[in-house]
Structure 1
Amino acid sequence: MATYTTSRRTFLMASLGMTAIQAIRPSGPQALSVGQVIDRIKANVGIPWRDQTVDNLIAGTPEMPVQGIASTMMATLEVLQRAAARGLNMVITHEPTYYSHQDRIEPVEQDPLYQLKRDFIRQHNMAVFHFHDHWHGRRPDGIATGMIRELGWEKRLDPQNPRLFTFPETTLARLAQEMAAKLNIKTMRVIGDPQLPVRRVMASWGNVSLMPGVPYLAQADALIVGETHEWELMEYVQDAIASGQKKALIILGHLVSEQAGMKYCAEWLKTFISEVPLEFIASAEPYWRPDQVKK
């Protein structure tokens, strides 16, 4: 009888102990980690992951738990602040965090602003993942897909050339105005006759140098770029116009010329990440025009 009593007491205590343990143990799935998010991106992007790439974890560690994810064009301090305020502690950015394409910190390591930004990320337990090469390398290009959707140009796209678009005849001014409105651009710049008839348009989102800018321009009435050196492609277009060629160049600004691609990236990420909140945070257009400022 005594043996039974002891065994019963032991059983009851063990049961109570298990109940207490179960009460404090999370009942849901294990927290999603930064490394798991990156692994899913690699598994779903549709192309082999390169050995040499800028697409790397710039801040944080793979083991960090993810409370929420922000997709953005550029991880500016302002974007990081907004993400932290929303409880989104993993930022997936298309452009660099530390002022160079490779996110090299050596040139700015002693700079107080770099240190402030680095410390903000650390203090808020944030991770930043640079996602550039493979988002462009995806087929179709993730940035181009988002930009085409934002502009509503899906039916204008040449099936043989993902950069070429065909329109019913419009004018350069009307084309530029419609783009500025759809992309909410304040500081677009345009080279060419505003009344130039436009039917064929080439678009190269982001930075475009002299080459391949020149062959792109040869295939169209107007070339759209994010940015370019003013002493290269811009000068070439000016000389082409002065020589009698009917050509034009539309310069959107680098950030706004790819921003919708990262808006689309957030939608794409949601197809294989559902455990945490996931949002697109737009990066602010950095420029303004004096005539748009209220006096």
Structure 2
Amino acid sequence: MKHKDIIAKICAYHPPVDESITCDGYKAGDPEDECTGVVTALAPTMDVIRKTIELGANLLIVHEPIFYMTPDFPEWKTNFRNEVVDEKEKLIKEHHITIWRDHDRMHANVPDSIFSGVAWKLGWEEYQVQSSTPCTFVYHVPETTVQEMKDFLEDRFHMNGLRYIGDPAHKISKIAIVGHLCPGLFMEEKVDENGHYHDYATAIIKEMEEGRIDAVIPGEIVEWNVLSYINDAVALGKNKACFNVGHFNLEEPGMEYAAKWVRDLLPEDVKVHYVRVEDQYRY
């Protein structure tokens, strides 16, 4: 089975995306090559590529960029040489690895393919409740302490440590997995006709103020909006918390989950593996 035939099945599984703006697509290799095995992984790191080679696979399906740029060009598109890129490209070409990125399609799925995997990994699927805020997945889990939740997340996400804000003894039960808490994402930033400011961060704060969320688990962060609000709330004795697991650790289960549904799309003789991107931080 050729790489392009496997990718066609994956694209058919997802809703369509605008091909003129998507970051999805081939980042390395030849779509015409015969597939010797599929690997799903969050990012095409050097370690992931090496493990793909060890498994005898040559099609790597990833969620994050290959060469360290937001547009995710399939080449190093700058005016200076990058020796890391050179060595990475050499390894990919020597072993005839094809890399295809599945990002926008996964998030376009209903429900979202990545965050479905996160809920599955945490065992929270039965606890989900509705939220009207974009990219906000709320779970009403059995009551626990901030410390117990920190330990649980650290274990489930295979982390080397976990930064968090909150009183370890405080009780929480309404947890929201939220999008990146960075300006300009998920909602338009604006001041309305009444002089009220709106953006994604203030929408999350509103949910926390009105009692729908006790704690958040974000991807990327800045520290001057939601995290500063939570820090002040904790100083006032309120049961609020933030678990800063990080972008890659948070979305990692989505690619473990992907190995399951990709395997269901393909003939039994096409082997599908999942390779975990290890926590990159040391504490």
For Structure 1 versus Structure 2, the TM-score category normalised by the shorter chain is 0.7 to 0.9
Structure 2 portions without partners, runs of 5+: 184-198, 208-212
Greater helix share, 1 or 2? 1
Alignment of 1:44-123 (within 5 A): 44-45=13-14, 47-51=15-19, 52-104=21-73, 105-107=76-78, 110-123=81-94
Is structure 2 residue 155 aligned with structure 1 residue 181?
Answer: yes
CA shift for structure 1 position 285: 0.7
Secondary structure (helix, strand or coil) at the match of 1:106 reads: coil
Contact kept in structure 2, 1:217 and 1:223, CA below 8 Å: no
- Greater C-alpha Rg: 1
Moved more, 259-268 or 109-118: 109-118
- Alignment of structure 1 residues 200-239 onto 2, 5 Å: 200-204=174-178, 207-209=180-182, 211-219=199-207, 220-239=213-232
The amino acid across from 1:247 in the alignment is K
Aligned to 1:25: none
Paired residue for 1:166, among 116, 140, 146?
Answer: 140
- The match for 1:152 among 120, 123, 131 is 123
Of structures 1 and 2, the one with the larger relative CO (CA 8 A, separation 6+) is 2
Contact 1:147 1:260 in 2 (8 A): yes
Q: Does 1:282 align with 2:240?
A: no
Distance 2:130 2:231 in 1: 30
Aligned residues: 256
Deviation of 1:229 after TM superposition, in Å, equals 1.9
Quote the residue 2:191 is aligned against: none
Q: CA deviation at 1:87?
A: 0.9
For residue 250 of structure 2, what is the aligned residue in structure 1?
257
Following superposition, the deviation at residue 230 of structure 1 comes to 3.0
- Runs of 5+ consecutive residues of structure 1 not aligned to the other structure: 1-31, 290-295
Whether 1:141 aligns to 2:112 is yes
SS of corresponding position for 2:42: strand
Deviation at 1:247, TM superposition (A): 2.0
Q: Give the Cα–Cα distance (whole angstroms) in 2 for the partners of residues 100 and 132 of structure 1.
A: 14
Does the aligned pair in 2 maintain the 1:95–1:101 contact within 8 Å? no
**What is the aligned-residue identity percentage?**
27
CA deviation vs aligned residue, 1:196-226 (integer Å, no higher than 9, x gap): 2212111126x33254233224321111113
Shift of 1:236: 3.6
Root-mean-square deviation (CA), in Å?
2.0
Aligned partners of 1:284 and 1:63: how far apart in 2? Answer: 31
Structure 1, 245-254 or 138-147: larger mean CA deviation: 245-254
